[in-house]
Amino acid sequence: MSTRLEGRCVLVVDDDPDVLDSFDLALRAEGATTLRAEDGNQAVSCWRSRNPEAVVLDMMLPKRSGFIVLEELLAAEHPPVVVMVTANEGRRHEEYARGLGVHAYLTKPVPLDTLIETVAGLLEEHAPGGTG
């Protein structure tokens, strides 16, 4: 059993309970501690109170869009690694997210191994002191 995310804290944000459950389970199977949010307001509140190292963020969310959440996360003094996921295949949204500074942009359905590889790779790449 691989534990590439052992000791890492990841916030999963999606308003689809099935996606939330599958992403959560896959990340925990790799050793991550996971936090969950179902809308943009919960996501920001949870991030502020728990400060996870990575956020898997759905683009289309109730209460506060993924783009607004992304802007807030990346404006922080110590921003988390952010992986945006969306069912929207339009290039305009991807370009906008990349312009804001998103670390990765994945289109649903996201294979769970792709999600794990992306999150783990980004956390290693952005590790403080380059210890990854």
Confidence of residue 130 (pLDDT cuts 50, 70, 90): very low
b (16+ CB within 10 A) / e for 25-44: ebbeebebbbbbbbbbebbb
The pTM of this model reads 0.93
Asked if 59 and 36 count as a contact pair (C-beta separation under 8 A), the reply is no
- The model's confidence at residue 129, banded by pLDDT at 50, 70 and 90, is low
* Residue 1 pLDDT exceeds 60: no
pLDDT tens column, 29-75: 999 999 999 999 999 999 999 999 999 999 999 999 999 999 999 99
Q: Which CATH class is domain 9-123?
A: alpha beta
Report CA 119 to chain centroid distance, whole Å.
8
Mean pLDDT score, 98-117: 96
Across the chain, mean pLDDT equals 93
